[in-house]
Structure 1
């Protein structure tokens, strides 16, 4: 299965991008297509820079407040990926990049990732696992602070 995903990613996606670029070129002309691809790369870079700064400020503020910056770290990763998609020539990759860079859609993507991989990172509470959006104690986790020291000589 991973081979199939890699094949789709490295062969299918570029073919799709070329197809869309050709279709746009036929509709608006080759020169305007090139101008549009250059313009969206420049605008994407500017958007990535502004969103990256905003995420960095939230990251620093969260650290200053003494909280774990899980959401901010994930937002930073999504902004980096969004910028990479926007810097790559192609209209399909630009659409994905815009989804990852714009705050409302980035929040939706972040929620999907946390729900899918809702383990102790990305701001989840350590010792608590997320199932179907509801948090429940992880079996064996000391979530109520009842741990005590045990004398090693009394261990079995």
Structure 2
């Protein structure tokens, strides 16, 4: 835990050092342009990923499907946008794997239960909804379960 605290304290200093080195290499004007450009790009990415995730989440829930893959994709996209919006070069480099993960999870969630192993899968068969689940022999029945409220 102390290592995490030290890294959290050192991260802004590392970002500042990277911006100073970039400023020495390409000049102050281009460094300021880079900071402004990545800040706007990061905010646009957060906005786009947030609204896109919200719309896909609504579609998944209306279709009675598991929204796990949509949430994974949106989480990675918003994290990438936040890292890009944070001024510095190290955070921009860390945003690239997050973008790759967001694109990797983006295609998931199109079929029933696709792209996510969390939760039961549901299927429609005519007028019936079939929910996959697990059943174990020896579970108490309704009459034997002492924690169940009695029907009147």
> Structure 1-normalised TM-score?
0.65
C-alpha distance after superposition, 1:16-61 (max 9, x if no partner): 2122111111111012101111111111211222222222222111
Tell me, which stretches of 5 or more residues in structure 1 are unaligned?
Answer: 111-121, 128-141
Q: Which of the pair is proportionally richer in helix? A: 1
* Long gaps (5+) in structure 2: 106-114, 121-132, 147-152
Aligned length: 123
- Moved runs in structure 1, 4+ residues, more than 3 A? 144-148
Alignment RMSD (CA, Å): 2.7
TM-score between both structures, scaled by the size of structure 2:
0.66
Greater RCO (CA < 8 Å, at least 6 residues apart): 2
Residue pairs, 1:1-156, within 5 angstroms:
2-11=1-10, 13-100=11-98, 102=99, 104-107=100-103, 123-126=116-119, 143-144=134-135, 149=141, 151-152=144-145
